[in-house]
Amino acid sequence: MNIPVCFLGDVELLYVWDKAPLEGKAIIIVLIIFSIFAWSIMASKAMQMKRAKKMNQYFDAEFRTQKNVFGIFDRRIQVDGCPLFNIYEEGCVELDNRLKAGLPEGRKKRVSLKAMEHVKRTLESAVAQESIKLESGLILLAVAVSGAPFLGLLGTVWGVMIAFTDVAQKGGADLPTLAPGVAAALVTTVAGLLVAIPSMFGYNWLVHNLRVMTVQLDNFAQALVSRMEIEFLRDDDVE
């Protein structure tokens, strides 16, 4: 008679779960919750970064075709989910306020170096804010990577301690007495690794993409400042 391997595996897991102590079951449940959160974060952040990368490419291509810095800003276009646009908008709002300062309507043709320094700081702050938005949620992945193995180890040590305590109480160290408890204890370590390993790969991939995108945001901010200085910085303030 051939018994499906998956069925045998399910039977073994149910047997080990039945033999696991209450503390071990609680740790496994916590690790399952960790795993759900970790996979949810990895999926959502991957989609967020994919969308941000795509929108950045579209916006950068459009921005390069503009004859002046305010070409997109004056059209009052809104681009949701695009970090480059958010930085561009923050910089344009600050520069627009400086150019309109003291005028009932319209813009000045030039601004001072001091005013341009304020625009630079605004862009730096915008880059930092966009980086923080992209980083949000990664701390939970880091917790899963570092904490899950220790939770699994805690469950294993606790389970082995209980297994040996049972052996001492029964006065015998035969395999049928010791093996179920040790097997149930080791399951928590396996569960911890099953949570930590995917989370580690996902975290490293996300951090790498985040660093690349942060560099792109910083480069765009510098390029934007350069265009603003060329178009609006007073000639006597240019070195």
Instruction: Give the tokens for residue 24.
Output: 């071990």
Grouped pLDDT means (10 residues each) for the chain, 239 residues = 44 63 81 90 91 92 89 85 92 90 77 89 93 88 90 85 74 65 79 91 92 93 92 67
Burial classification of residue 158, based on how many CB atoms lie within 10 Å of its CB (0-12 exposed, 13-18 middle, 19 or more buried) = middle
pLDDT tens-digit map of 224-236: 999 999 888 876 5
The verdict on pTM exceeding 0.85 is no
Domains of the chain, by residue range, sit at 24-237
Residue 126 has a pLDDT of: 94
Query: What whole-number distance in Å separates Cα of residue 239 and Cα of residue 223?
Result: 18
Query: What whole-number distance in Å separates Cα of residue 99 and Cα of residue 108?
Result: 5
- Calculate the alpha carbon distances from 1 to 6, 10, 20, 70, 147 in Å: 15, 18, 30, 77, 44
